[in-house]
Structure 1
Amino acid sequence: MQRILVIDDDTDICLLLRRFLSKNGYEVAIAQNGQTGLSLLEDFSPDLVMTDFRLGDLDGGQILRKIKERFPEVPVLIITGYSDIKIAIDVMKQGAFDYITKPLFPDEILLTIKKALSGEKPDGSMQTTAEKENGATKSTNKSTRSKPDSNYIFGNGPESKNLYRQIDLVAPTNYSVIIYGESGSGKESIAQEIHKRSKRANGPFIAMDCGAISKELAASEMFGHEKGSFTGALNQKIGHFEMANGGTLFLDEVANLPYDVQVALLRVVQERKLRRIGGNKEISVDVRILVASNERLMESCRKGKFREDLYHRFNEFSLDVPPLRDRKADILEFAQFFLETTNAELGKDIKGFDEDVKAAFLSYPWYGNLREMRNVVKRSTLLSDGDYIESKSLPFEIINYSRLLFSEPTQPVISEDIVPKQEEPAKPNLKSAALDAEYEMILQVLKQVNYNKSKAAQVLSIDRKTLYNKMKSYNL
């Protein structure tokens, strides 16, 4: 059973967290001041520490330093209020895994704890070998094979080298950058790479997913709000712009921003000043803006979804991230990278992939790009017991992709309810093979985006109405 130490001077929070985490299978110890918490480290030997940032005797920074001096491998989560977020981000630079804001939400707490204990980073990527070694991980039987110290795999193919050259070129500047690429291709990781190579590397990197925020909350998330500024505004909130002050703000799927927020954003970009919702004070901000989109912003401008003046503000430089299917020279290298990170996570030492698996990887189109490949390799590694991953460990749609593409209509791989029965056996024809392949593609993309039809339509480069019609015809 994994152990969690909770340090908070609020008795109710301590008891609440102990009850909640115990129900979810963790052994929990609590301490109501910093010194007591530090004294419990030796005896309790926690796998993770959750500590309030503001304690009576010590603050979050002091607690973190003392924990890392004695137990550098233990991840630390900072509990903080909205008004302390900027400070919490600074503490993260000193080695905290992540922060959780009050009021505390059970789902958020569990998700963050699971990421921390699994070795996954707050952004969803996995820790590299160098990061694990710097953390002096407890497990001694994990793979120690070296991996690139980066959140993103660049590869050695011509497309990858060209992308890397462009990042090297634009990173040291203060240009705004538009990053184009399909879902799962690593746009946020590229933005992080630009930030790390910039003069703002010591400042915060703040990411905002514009496609995952409701229209009503978008302005509050971006610019912040004052207490009482609208129904439900129980506390002052610092927006993403302020949090990114002195560093980089990454706006993912920026075309999804509501039009009125785009108007306010244009003013902030031009004047480098903002006002929180309900506030009168102008706040100066020094932020480099990187944006990402899986559709061309100029096309969004033509459709009336995106302001053209804002587009030109952002379009000082643009990068195109090629989809994984267009980077054949790097596919096996990427797969090996994910294998090594998963080996380290699971304590395995699988050496590679057999020839059938390599052939399947090279022929499969990877509609979900690097995200899909990472998940496939993680699953296959978990299922494999030998020295090499074999085809039996791969998902059906990958190992059978070629057969799906060229299957005969008289022996359909998909359900008979999906492809209409023919009166008599017919010869193989391209149309039937295309139907099979199209069905599998749509199903795979829907799974990748958790059946979000809007995102699936974007990934497939079709409109939502076309997607609905195809899903109806395939009984999906």
Structure 2
Amino acid sequence: MASILVIDDNLDICRLLQRFLSKKGHEVDTTLSGEEGIIMVKEKAFDLIFCDFNLRKMEGREVLQQVKSISPQTKVAIITGYADVRIAVEVIKKGAFDYVVKPLIPDEILSLIERALKAKDAPISVATEAVPTAIIKKGAKKSTGTVTPNPDYIWGEDRASSDLLREVELVAPTNFSVIIYGESGSGKENIAKTIHELSDRKDKPFVAIDCGALTKELAGSELWGHEKGGFTGAVTAKPGQFEVADGGTIFLDEIANLSYEIQVGLLRLVQEKKLRRIGGIKDKELDVRIIVASNEDLKEAVKNGKFREDLYYRFNEFTITVPPLRKRGKDIMAFAGHFLAQANQELNKTVKGFSAPVADLFNKYDWPGNLREMRNVIRRALLLTQSDEVQLSALPQEIIYAPTIAFSDESSPIRLDESKLDVSGPINLKDIAANAEAEVIKKVLEENQYNKTKAAQQLGIDRKTLFNKLKQHRIQS
């Protein structure tokens, strides 16, 4: 049984979750405001909090930050609309356990609670990134053939994957410090762990720390540890995560989020290879390989005064850039296949694969949340799938419509597909959505050999609605 708090200014959602989760044996409290939710967290210990991102007076990310300061062990799941997935991914970097997308699906809620309960006893500084490792296919090529990577990882055969593996194999046997760049959810922690497991330190600890989830007050204690009485509330001595990683590797994700004071202490540790607990009087010698990661350019962070220059050069012995999922070419479907296998196991299903239109859509979609987003999309789709294949009807509409709007890496955030849209004049967003809907209907009709009954079932609408849409979009069938 879990102690759960629901923070949502929609009374219907509060009531729905309270009734549903109470019937499942959980203890559920609800509130309509973030401010009252914070007060409740101060008065009572919760295992998990479901918090709406768009509260009226207090944003979900602010609630998250205050909850983490008051009760670091409490898991927070953000409730969001699918259009806000980019924001939700950003909030996960700040310490959210996961996010759920409206409309809420009961099995998805129960699965998240189960995962939160399993993780509640883990140290708060050890990151459990919501991107599990993928399984490598038998017979998959390795970049050099000289080193066999951990078989729990998928690398694929696309050029971007081969180049990435080659760099990992090159630096792994050394003791170089490494900076890993990559977007949120792209698998930076997996890369760091692979470097560790291909090194001589593989039999020693690997400790991953999400610096974005550490408040300024907690960071020193979590990294260096403290002695009993070292500060108010330190009733027992506690080793820091650097001590836990002694002899092995420590991975500092989102390193630029550390405060200036912590950066000073980190520089001393790197230079002297010694650590002193908060409130301690003795130094402890350490042998730890440090791998750091960031989704922003640390050079720019140095220029902007956010990151110490001397610390940057200490870490910058080798740099690896993890390509975003949208640039992984044919390996996109290899990742999708793995997440499908994981979801089948988690949900006790036997879905065999993806329909051709779904695979086509996955290859065209921008994947702003990278592997983390793909995993959640596929898990959610499997909950709605009752056949052997995941169909378009099981995917969020925002993904289905996304191929007509692609996000570029250039300064302009939106690039329209001119092969499908007339962009010679003013752009009407309603027309864009209509064109996208027409494209989806055409694909589904083709997939079902123009059987309108089957097409309507796959689209999740009745035949009458389908006929109206065929007429509306002037689709010949």
**TM-score, normalisation: structure 2:** 0.58
Alpha-carbon separation, structure 1, partners of 2:299 and 2:268:
20
Paired residue for 1:279? Answer: 280
Paired residue for 1:239? Answer: 240
Paired residue for 2:402? Answer: 401
* 1:404-432 deviation line (CA, Å, top 9, x unaligned): 669xxxxxxxxxxxxxxxxxxx9874655
1:113 aligns with 2:117: yes
Residues 212 and 160 of structure 1: is their aligned pair in 2 closer, same or farther, counting only changes over 3 Å?
Answer: same
1:126/1:341 contact within 8 Å kept: no
2:135/2:152 contact within 8 Å kept: no
Task: For 1:40-119, list aligned pairs within 5 A.
Answer: 112-114=116-118
Alpha-carbon separation, structure 1, partners of 2:157 and 2:293:
24
* 1:93-139 deviation line (CA, Å, top 9, x unaligned): xxxxxxxxxx99675997553459xxxx9554558789xxxxxxxxx
> Which letter maps to 2:117?
I
1:175/1:288 contact within 8 Å kept: yes
Residues 114 and 239 of structure 1: is their aligned pair in 2 closer, same or farther, counting only changes over 3 Å?
Answer: closer
Instruction: Please state whether the residue corresponding to 1:300 is helix, strand or coil.
Output: helix
Paired residue for 1:193? Answer: 194
Compare 331-340 and 182-191 and name the one that shifted more.
Answer: 331-340
Please state how far the C-alpha of 1:153 moved relative to its aligned partner: 2.9
Alpha-carbon separation, structure 1, partners of 2:304 and 2:370:
27
Paired residue for 2:300? Answer: 299
Paired residue for 2:369? Answer: 368
> Which letter maps to 1:301?
V
1:219 aligns with 2:225: no
Task: For 1:425-464, list aligned pairs within 5 A.
Answer: 429=425, 432=428
Instruction: Please state whether the residue corresponding to 2:180 is helix, strand or coil.
Output: strand
* 1:426-458 deviation line (CA, Å, top 9, x unaligned): 987465559989xxxxxxxxxxxxxxxxxxxxx
Task: For 1:306-455, list aligned pairs within 5 A.
Answer: 306-403=307-404, 429=425, 432=428
> Which letter maps to 1:376?
V
Please state how far the C-alpha of 1:332 moved relative to its aligned partner: 1.2
Alpha-carbon separation, structure 1, partners of 2:233 and 2:223:
17
Residues 259 and 105 of structure 1: is their aligned pair in 2 closer, same or farther, counting only changes over 3 Å?
Answer: closer
Instruction: Please state whether the residue corresponding to 2:213 is helix, strand or coil.
Output: coil
Task: For 1:158-169, list aligned pairs within 5 A.
Answer: 158-169=159-170
Paired residue for 2:107? Answer: none
Please state how far the C-alpha of 1:156 moved relative to its aligned partner: 1.1
Name the Cα RMSD after superposition: 3.4
1:381/1:389 contact within 8 Å kept: yes
Aligned-residue sequence identity (percent) comes to: 53
Residues 237 and 427 of structure 1: is their aligned pair in 2 closer, same or farther, counting only changes over 3 Å?
Answer: closer
Please state how far the C-alpha of 1:385 moved relative to its aligned partner: 1.1
1:273/1:282 contact within 8 Å kept: yes
Alpha-carbon separation, structure 2, partners of 1:150 and 1:243:
26
* 1:205-256 deviation line (CA, Å, top 9, x unaligned): 1111111111122111111111111112222121111010010000000011
Alpha-carbon separation, structure 2, partners of 1:196 and 1:229:
35
Alpha-carbon separation, structure 1, partners of 2:321 and 2:236:
40
Aligned residues: 303
**TM-score, normalisation: structure 1:** 0.58
Unpaired stretches in structure 2, ≥5 consecutive residues = 3-21, 27-70, 77-112, 121-126, 137-148, 408-421, 434-477
Residues 122 and 368 of structure 1: is their aligned pair in 2 closer, same or farther, counting only changes over 3 Å?
Answer: closer
Residues 303 and 244 of structure 1: is their aligned pair in 2 closer, same or farther, counting only changes over 3 Å?
Answer: same
Residues 199 and 24 of structure 1: is their aligned pair in 2 closer, same or farther, counting only changes over 3 Å?
Answer: farther
Alpha-carbon separation, structure 1, partners of 2:430 and 2:216:
38
Residues 434 and 239 of structure 1: is their aligned pair in 2 closer, same or farther, counting only changes over 3 Å?
Answer: farther
Instruction: Please state whether the residue corresponding to 1:249 is helix, strand or coil.
Output: strand
> Which letter maps to 2:302?
C
Instruction: Please state whether the residue corresponding to 1:211 is helix, strand or coil.
Output: helix
1:404/1:433 contact within 8 Å kept: no
* 1:181-221 deviation line (CA, Å, top 9, x unaligned): 00000001111111111100000011111111111221111
1:210 aligns with 2:242: no
1:380/1:394 contact within 8 Å kept: yes
Please state how far the C-alpha of 1:293 moved relative to its aligned partner: 0.2
> Which letter maps to 1:262?
Q
Paired residue for 1:259? Answer: 260
Please state how far the C-alpha of 1:402 moved relative to its aligned partner: 2.8
Paired residue for 1:88? Answer: none
Residues 105 and 377 of structure 1: is their aligned pair in 2 closer, same or farther, counting only changes over 3 Å?
Answer: closer
1:266/1:310 contact within 8 Å kept: yes
Paired residue for 2:453? Answer: none
Alpha-carbon separation, structure 2, partners of 1:329 and 1:283:
48
> Which letter maps to 1:250?
F
> Which letter maps to 1:303?
N
